[in-house]
Structure 1
Amino acid sequence: MLALWVALRNAAPVIGGAIIFGINSSINASGAVSLNTYLAIIGIMCAGPFIALLLSHPSQVQRKDGVVIVFRKTGWLLSLSEWWSVIASKNMLLLCPLFFTSWFYGSYIGTLQTQYFNVRTRALCAFVIPMGDIVGGFMVGYFLDNKRMSIKQKARASFAFLMTCNLALWIWTAIITKQLEDSKPIIDWTSPEFGRTFSLFLLFDLVTMATQTSLFWIIGQMSNDFIILSYMTGTLRGVECAGQAVAYGIKSSDTTDWLSIGFNVGLFVLAIPFAWMVIRKIGVQSFKEIEPDAASTDEKSDAPDSKEELA
């Protein structure tokens, strides 16, 4: 299911990338994309709210077996109180450094594309690279669904492999950066430098989305309560976005490429031991169940609170 969500999430970038590529595929020069690119994307975005009106009202949604989906009534103060009880838990705090750095790479990789790729090659990247996200999500999803390995083995093997891949990609990035700084090329898809730079960008998206999918799987092992899991996934997305904001802020200032590389490597190295303290518990011991405030107990009674009830 996680991999399916990843595929649906990245279907939009693939479609948008196809539009960008179609409009700009003939521009064999550096600089900005065609104005028509912005008009096409803005037009699609403006149509979004009207398309959303075709969705069924939540109260009309039911499962295949006919069971109606029950929604819990809550308020801002109660939700904030419950969310705080989740974010303040030890295991979530230990994972937050990895959440923060999981998409930190994007600002630097995007800058490399802008600096060294011409317009049509960047358009090709916009179309093809999101497919790496889809492949990465399905690859790690297939592995984590493997029934021949224990949960403990899958958690540790996927974590070790993905952290190794992330750090290896940054070593490769440092090598590519040095080569680009020395030669300062304008890269077209016919250029000899295209293969090694494009494959780096594609693999970054593949590995990053595989890492993201595994993070959702990890927090899925920490609770059976769907309300708690909603707060956990929201925290993951929020901290991840905060990391992206900081990364783009750093890159927007007058800093060297090597500072970005150093930050990314340093954050990953810092995050690994904290995350490992959680990973090593998966499949070995039960996580202490996080309980929302007692005031919400009655309001939760009508809502499904376990994976089994929603299966």
Structure 2
Amino acid sequence: MAAPVEKGEPSHEVHTPDHSLQDHPTDTFELPNSWKYKHIRILGFTLPWYASPPVQLVIVAFVCFLCPGMFNALNGMGGGGQMDHSANNKANTALYSTFAVVGFFAGTFTNKLGIRTALSFGGCGYSIYVASYLSYNHTKNLGFSIFAGALLGVCAGILWCAQGAIMMSYPPEASKGRYISWFWMIFNLGAVIGSLIPLGQNIHTTTDGTVNDGTYIGFLILTLIGAGLSWCLVDAKNVIRHDGSKIIVMKHPSWKSEIWGLWETIQTDPYIIALFPMFFASNWFYTYHFSEVNAGYFNVRTRALNGVIYYIMQIVGAYVFGFALDSKGFRRTTRAKAAWVALFCFIMVIWGGGYKFQTTYNRTMALDKTRPKKDWSDPGFGGPFVLYMFYGFSDAAWQTCVYWFMGSLTNNGRKLANFAGFYKGIQSAGGAITWRLDDIGIPYMNMFASNWALLAGSLVIALPVILWKVEDTVSLEKDIAFTDETVEEVAPKVLVQAAGGHLNEKV
């Protein structure tokens, strides 16, 4: 079916080639005659037009590559690269506390500000956060670090909501797993490259210590570039999929209607509450991974190496789960159940191995400055190293599945923005608690046990949603029911694509 074009608007007919980045349309259609909709051929390959979901997703992924990716690389070092973890723990407690509050309303702010402004504003927060650690290296100004963490919580809440709304609402139903996978791989590549910076600068340092200024300066420059890259995006209303359908966007929302939308989401979709424990668990394990395993057990150069491998395994995990979730050979309901089983098995096996490892050391041993920490040249390095690799793999598997589960529940962009806001807010509440627990010195084994129990328990609580709410396709009536309009009122604006049930809004 052809995408409608305003009368008199110049357009050109598109026969979309069969390319792996595209969504394989079943028909030809017309696009507006603008540079945003022209194909580019490079080395014999035809790339998607600029205002297409794949290109827009890649831009968002590189924003996250440069901003949250550098944040992850810095925190993956343990203690934010500082030998004394107190500043990092307090900054991250402030960060996730404000993130938890802002996250619940981030859908409101994102819809009001627009995607580009929201992402750029969020990116600036990462730059200030990195600058606070550079300052701390010289001034030990704890107040600045805590302020930067609190500010980043506000900025990150809005950035991640904007990112989540794009990643879940831009792709057609049949491609949501692949889009999530592409994003997660590019995003984590940023953390891989970011981790190579401290690895290269500390590769000959076999003792434990603080990373140097060059590491923080490199992170600062990259986060500033990421904040600017946000302005390369186009408005959601201009994005056209490869089947000719457009994104469902809410026109000119008021503050009242958007704030009410948060409550309306709970009223119309109360089952989302069953996913809240999975949201809560999704940031809980980072403190344990970064501060209590990587920084608690390994020296500075080995921590940097571990960070590189951890995020490489996240890329692998995102690829495996993202593409498996979009497998054409099985119904979506079957894939959802298989994903749940796979997650549960991974959690039990990986964290079962983690229990055996955790019995070999404790917090007192980790804080003993006379006791050398594990280096990659030491005997017995291999086992903990492989375990840390699979911690990274399971993280990507968890995040990819949670996003896919949410994306499979609706195609409504407004509702998905609220889902993403709930997700980031609740996971940040968990992050604030766990960073605070580390700061007050809770035993490592207790932290380990809380992680394993929360991950396994949240999967059990979410199972009814997976079994009864995930459907093979989401009907138009269900998506429209969330708005104030009836199907009859929406009919002149929305067309149903026969091949896949996608929604197509008129230009």
Give the TM-score range, shorter chain: 0.7 to 0.9
Task: Report the Cα offset of residue 226 of structure 1.
Answer: 2.5
CA gap of 1:143–1:46, structure 2 versus 1, over 3 A, is: closer
CA gap of 1:24–1:298, structure 2 versus 1, over 3 A, is: farther
Task: State whether residues 325 and 335 of structure 2, in contact with CA within 8 Å, keep that contact through their aligned partners in structure 1.
Answer: yes
Task: State whether residues 2 and 213 of structure 1, in contact with CA within 8 Å, keep that contact through their aligned partners in structure 2.
Answer: yes
CA gap of 1:293–1:283, structure 2 versus 1, over 3 A, is: closer
Q: Which of 86, 91, 97 in structure 1 is aligned with 2:271?
A: 91
Task: State whether residues 317 and 397 of structure 2, in contact with CA within 8 Å, keep that contact through their aligned partners in structure 1.
Answer: yes
CA gap of 1:232–1:262, structure 2 versus 1, over 3 A, is: same
Task: Report the Cα offset of residue 64 of structure 1.
Answer: 6.8
Task: Report the Cα offset of residue 283 of structure 1.
Answer: 4.1
Give the Cα separation in 2 of the matches to 1:305 and 1:272: 36
Q: Which residue of 1 aligns with 2:426?
A: 239
Alignment map for 1:191-206 (pairs within 5 Å): 191-206=378-393
Alignment map for 1:162-311 (pairs within 5 Å): 162-181=343-362, 186-281=373-468, 282-283=470-471, 289=478, 291-292=481-482, 294=484, 308-309=502-503
Report whether the alignment pairs 1:24 with 2:205: no
Task: Report the Cα offset of residue 49 of structure 1.
Answer: 3.5
Q: Which of 141, 159, 183 in structure 1 is aligned with 2:340?
A: 159
Larger gyration radius, structure 1 or structure 2: 2
Task: State whether residues 2 and 141 of structure 1, in contact with CA within 8 Å, keep that contact through their aligned partners in structure 2.
Answer: yes
Q: Which of 298, 304, 309 in structure 2 is aligned with 1:123?
A: 304
CA gap of 1:58–1:246, structure 2 versus 1, over 3 A, is: same
Amino acid at match of 2:502: E
Report whether the alignment pairs 1:107 with 2:287: yes
Task: Report the Cα offset of residue 272 of structure 1.
Answer: 2.5
Task: Report the Cα offset of residue 82 of structure 1.
Answer: 0.9
Q: Secondary structure at the match of 1:105?
A: helix
Amino acid at match of 1:277: P
Alignment map for 1:40-59 (pairs within 5 Å): 40-53=218-231, 55-56=232-233, 58=235
1:5-31 CA-to-partner distances (Å, cap 9, x unmatched) read: 111221221221122222121211112
Give the Cα separation in 1 of the matches to 2:240 and 2:346: 39
Task: State whether residues 302 and 375 of structure 2, in contact with CA within 8 Å, keep that contact through their aligned partners in structure 1.
Answer: yes
Amino acid at match of 2:235: P
Amino acid at match of 2:257: L
CA gap of 1:121–1:297, structure 2 versus 1, over 3 A, is: farther
1:109-140 CA-to-partner distances (Å, cap 9, x unmatched) read: 11221122111111112222111111101101
145-154 or 57-66, larger mean C-alpha shift = 57-66
Q: Secondary structure at the match of 2:502?
A: helix
Amino acid at match of 1:214: C
Give the Cα separation in 2 of the matches to 1:299 and 1:16: 50
Amino acid at match of 2:217: L
Tell me the percent identity.
23
CA gap of 1:249–1:116, structure 2 versus 1, over 3 A, is: same
| TM-score, normalising length: structure 2 | 0.55
Task: Report the Cα offset of residue 268 of structure 1.
Answer: 2.4
Amino acid at match of 1:229: L
Amino acid at match of 1:77: K
Q: Which residue of 2 aligns with 1:11?
A: 189
Task: Report the Cα offset of residue 217 of structure 1.
Answer: 1.4
Give the Cα separation in 1 of the matches to 2:396 and 2:489: 35
221-230 or 93-102, larger mean C-alpha shift = 221-230
Give the Cα separation in 2 of the matches to 1:221 and 1:52: 27
Q: Tell me how large the CA RMSD over aligned residues is.
A: 3.3
Give the Cα separation in 2 of the matches to 1:103 and 1:12: 19
Gaps of 5+ in 1: none
Task: State whether residues 282 and 427 of structure 2, in contact with CA within 8 Å, keep that contact through their aligned partners in structure 1.
Answer: yes
Task: Report the Cα offset of residue 254 of structure 1.
Answer: 2.0
1:188-211 CA-to-partner distances (Å, cap 9, x unmatched) read: 111223211121111111112112
Task: Report the Cα offset of residue 173 of structure 1.
Answer: 1.5
Gaps of 5+ in 2: 1-178
Task: State whether residues 355 and 448 of structure 2, in contact with CA within 8 Å, keep that contact through their aligned partners in structure 1.
Answer: yes
CA gap of 1:75–1:115, structure 2 versus 1, over 3 A, is: same
Give the Cα separation in 1 of the matches to 2:253 and 2:389: 42
Task: Report the Cα offset of residue 45 of structure 1.
Answer: 2.2
CA gap of 1:297–1:177, structure 2 versus 1, over 3 A, is: same
Task: State whether residues 279 and 423 of structure 2, in contact with CA within 8 Å, keep that contact through their aligned partners in structure 1.
Answer: yes
Structure number with the higher helix fraction is: 1
128-137 or 55-64, larger mean C-alpha shift = 55-64
CA gap of 1:261–1:58, structure 2 versus 1, over 3 A, is: same
Task: Report the Cα offset of residue 100 of structure 1.
Answer: 0.7
State how many pairs are aligned. Answer: 310
Give the Cα separation in 1 of the matches to 2:195 and 2:391: 17
Task: State whether residues 137 and 210 of structure 1, in contact with CA within 8 Å, keep that contact through their aligned partners in structure 2.
Answer: yes
Amino acid at match of 2:322: G
| TM-score, normalising length: structure 1 | 0.86
1:56-76 CA-to-partner distances (Å, cap 9, x unmatched) read: 553894437788876621133
